[in-house]
Structure 1
Amino acid sequence: MPDTREDPGTHDDAAPAAQRSGLQGDCGNCFGLCCVALPFSASADFAFDKPAGQPCTNLRDDFRCGIHTGLRERGFSGCTVYDCFGAGQKVSQVTFGGRSWREAPGTAREMFDVFPVMRQLHELLSYLTEALTFSAAHPLHADIRRLLDETEALTGRDAAALLAVDVPAHRAQVGELLLRVSELVRAEAKPGRRKNRRGADLLGARLAGADLHGANLRGACLIAADLTGADLRLADLLGADLRDADLRGADLTGSIFLTQPQLRQARGDARTKLPRALSRPAHWSS
């Protein structure tokens, strides 16, 4: 059986909580951008097709969802797992100064184009903010803060300048630093247990009870994988696809770069152990 003790010294409890709070979606201060700017196709996740730039028929005049409390039951589970990392309110209230696309229809196209750019930048801010909480990554904290400041500065640009940002190049720069952070943090796992499964195709893999302590699983396809009871402490899960992955009884304490949207896409229960900063999805079994 895996050792279920949390790895000491992994996270710094003096995490920048104020920064984290601005990296979560605040629908009350957003103009329903994810319900308008983004496209979706009829599937198990969405009940019908919707092109980009067209408001969802469930979007009300106050920019709230008319079926929010029954999204899963109405065939919109895809909406329940989405998170803009706070980009929606940033674009609505800062980039466009609190003036909606309904009030100023001429801004709509630019606003909708800016939103996915801002979303990517805010996702990077979320990862960099988390990286600062790892005590093992202290040697890289100065570099992390520098890139955090640079990324934050990008999010404060006007719409035209945001659309000119070379997001792939900036993601690559941040990604390289986050990999160095990952290597330092995962070095705390026992030698020989730091498996490299980066980008691995583990679709439907049978990994029940697997020892993945300190594993590199960034970008791995874990769709519908059986991870019941698996030891995922200190595992790097950045960008891992956890759709319908079974995390019941799995130990994710100390896992790094795991996000709330990833958890919402997976299945778990009351026995699943989570990092301190994340919460148990409401639809998980008891």
Structure 2
Amino acid sequence: MSVEIEDLKSVKADCENCFGLCCVALPYLKSADFAYDKDSGIPCENLQTDYRCGIHRNLRKSGFRGCTVYECFGAGQKVSQFTYSGRDWRKNKEIEKEMFEVFPVMQQLHEMLRYLYEALNRKEASGIQTNIQQAIEKTERLTHLNPQSILKLDIIQHREYVNHLLIQTSEYVRANVKHDQKQRVKLKKGIDLIGSNFKGANFKGANLRGAFLIACDLRNSDLRFADFIGADLRDANICGANLTGSIFLTQVQVNSANGDHRTKLPPSLEIPSHWLN
């Protein structure tokens, strides 16, 4: 079993086919990531009539860094073009509120699919491949439900079901990591490491699930085969770090960090443009 290219495209944002849902449905507070407060259901003032962002090329300079590190995992186009069959919220006010409520639920389902697709491609998890495939099929069926049914989903229960398989996958991958004589850093789940200095540290095969790595110095660190699901890498310095083979690392996490041309990423991820400026 393997993941097709079209499957991977389905869990990546396609803003051209979305009605700007993340720019309307989601709230945010004025902070280092956003220039002003916005309530859910209120369109961002930068959202244009064609559902494009008026400052897309200058989001960071304009105080909207948070937008550059958000990923809907393809939920935007799914809700816009499939769930609501191309009906937009501006012309169909009767579906406006419901669409904005469906979107974050769909985002969670698509995020789970993204991780499950990666798990399916991990040869180390071949022993549970059938279970992973079943989870993918079940999750995909949920994304095909009508709006009313989506809003009634027990998303927490389904996430627990999926997470069990993701944890197993992580354990299989990390169990095969050969450690050298250099002591690997050991961390507890969800540990707060904000601003810590880990320059040159050995995190090879580490469990970084839920770790707060905000503004950490991870320059030249060995992060190969580390599990990054839920890890917060905002403003972490990963210049020269090696993240090849890492597990469940997303483009969003990479975008939120600071790296350079020496940073080694998994082939599925791209070097953010702001690293090179």
In structure 2, the partner of 1:273 is 264
Deviation, structure 1 residue 18: 2.0
Deviation, structure 1 residue 197: 3.3
Partner deviation per Cα, 1:248-281 (whole Å, 9 max, x = no partner): 0000000000000001111000000000111111
CA separation in 2, counterparts of 1:209 and 1:233?
A: 13
8 Å Cα contact 1:195-1:214 kept in structure 2: no
In structure 1, the partner of 2:172 is 184
> Any idea what SS the aligned residue of 2:273 has?
coil
1:171 aligns to 2:159 (yes or no): yes
In structure 1, the partner of 2:100 is 112
8 Å Cα contact 2:184-2:201 kept in structure 1: no
How many residues were matched structurally?
Answer: 274
Higher relative CO (Cα under 8 Å, sequence separation at least 6) belongs to 1
* CA RMSD across the alignment: 1.4
Show structure 2 runs of 5+ residues with no match.
Answer: none
In structure 2, the partner of 1:40 is 28
CA separation in 2, counterparts of 1:200 and 1:281?
A: 27
1:143 aligns to 2:131 (yes or no): yes
CA separation in 2, counterparts of 1:263 and 1:41?
A: 23
8 Å Cα contact 1:212-1:230 kept in structure 2: yes
Percent identical pairs in the alignment equals 54
TM-score of the two chains, using structure 1 as the length reference: 0.93
CA separation in 2, counterparts of 1:214 and 1:124?
A: 22
The residue type equivalent to 2:200 in the other structure is G
1:103 aligns to 2:91 (yes or no): yes
The residue type equivalent to 1:269 in the other structure is D
CA separation in 2, counterparts of 1:47 and 1:233?
A: 36
**1:73 aligned to which of 53, 57, 61:** 61
Show structure 1 runs of 5+ residues with no match.
Answer: 1-11
In structure 2, the partner of 1:260 is 251
The residue type equivalent to 1:280 in the other structure is I
Runs of 4+ in 1 over 3 A off after TM superposition: 191-197
In structure 1, the partner of 2:217 is 226
1:173-212 residue pairs with structure 2 within 5 A?
A: 173-190=161-178, 193=184, 195-212=186-203
1:88 aligns to 2:76 (yes or no): yes
CA separation in 1, counterparts of 2:184 and 2:220?
A: 17
8 Å Cα contact 1:209-1:227 kept in structure 2: yes
8 Å Cα contact 2:25-2:101 kept in structure 1: yes
> Any idea what SS the aligned residue of 1:46 has?
coil
CA separation in 2, counterparts of 1:199 and 1:44?
A: 23
Partner deviation per Cα, 1:72-121 (whole Å, 9 max, x = no partner): 11111111111100000000001111000011011000000000000000
